[in-house]
Amino acid sequence: MESELGCPVCRAGAHTIDIPEVGVSLMSHVIVRRCPACATYWLETERYLAAVSDDEARREAPDVLAAG
């Protein structure tokens, strides 16, 4: 599925893991990153780094990001 999330800044950073870390979810074992330019959340696992919507970020890492 093609994602429309992110901006040129964090899309470039996604290749070098250069997006600032927000926190680590112990529940879903993902590292939550957020682009300082467009505020898009990125979820990093051992397998992939993907831009997600705010809602999806909260679903995936509720212990890092306040629910609701």
By CB under 5 A, name the binding residues for Zn ion.
7, 9-10, 35, 37-38, 40
Angle formed at CA 42 by CA 53 and CA 24, multiple of 5 degrees: 115
What is the rounded distance in angstroms from the CA atom of residue 6 to the CA atom of residue 67? 21
C-beta closer to Zn ion: residue 33 or 61: 33
Minimum distance between the CB of residue 66 and Zn ion, rounded to whole angstroms?
Answer: 21
Phi/psi at 13 (5° precision):
-65, -25
Minimum distance between the CB of residue 26 and Zn ion, rounded to whole angstroms?
Answer: 26
C-beta closer to Zn ion: residue 9 or 22: 9
Amino acid at 31: I
C-beta closer to Zn ion: residue 9 or 49: 9
What is the rounded distance in angstroms from the CA atom of residue 40 to the CA atom of residue 61? 14
Minimum distance between the CB of residue 50 and Zn ion, rounded to whole angstroms?
Answer: 13
